[in-house]
């Protein structure tokens, strides 16, 4: 993956992270104290395995499932299983949402 592509992908992740943060702030203002003190995704972040955090970082770096599998010597099917579990644990709708949640809890680095 060239630098321009990586930079473009990271830019999209940053935009998504900012949009999710803004939505969370609006929800907090709208609902006030009725929201739980600890968001469910934060509780689930504590349950992520080391391998899941590694896969999440590689997703944040813009790698595909196939590329992650090659980097970690895993099958693409195994990587997809890790990603599916990550979505469930983080209550994420997609890869960008998972990265945004992880970045907001400082589980992954978005720097180039």
What pLDDT, on the 0 to 100 scale, is given for residue 68?
Answer: 93
Q: If you search the block for the tokens 């992520």, which residue do you land on?
A: 48
- Residue 8 falls within a domain, yes or no? yes
Count of domains forming the chain? 1
- Residue 112 falls within a domain, yes or no? no
- Residue 50 falls within a domain, yes or no? yes
- Residue 15 falls within a domain, yes or no? yes
Q: What is the CATH number of the domain that holds 77?
A: 1.10.10.10
- Residue 109 falls within a domain, yes or no? no
- Residue 61 falls within a domain, yes or no? yes
Nearby residues of 62 by Cβ (< 8 Å), 6 or more positions away: 1, 5, 6, 9, 10, 13
| Spans of the chain below 70 pLDDT | 1, 20, 24, 27-46, 111-112
> What range does the domain containing 48 cover?
3-104
- Residue 33 falls within a domain, yes or no? yes
What pLDDT, on the 0 to 100 scale, is given for residue 34?
Answer: 46
């Amino acid at each position: 993956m060239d630098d321009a592509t990586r930079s473009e992908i990271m830019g999209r992740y940053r935009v998504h992270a900012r949009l999710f943060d803004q939505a969370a702030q609006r929800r907090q203002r709208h609902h006030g104290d009725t929201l739980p003190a600890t968001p469910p995704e934060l509780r689930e972040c504590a349950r992520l395995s080391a391998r899941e955090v590694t896969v999440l970082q590689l997703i944040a770096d813009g790698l595909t499932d196939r590329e992650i599998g090659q980097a970690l010597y895993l099958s693409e099917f195994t990587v997809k299983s890790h990603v599916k579990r990550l979505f469930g644990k983080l209550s994420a709708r997609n890869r960008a949402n998972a990265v945004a949640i992880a970045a907001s809890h400082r589980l992954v680095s978005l720097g180039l």
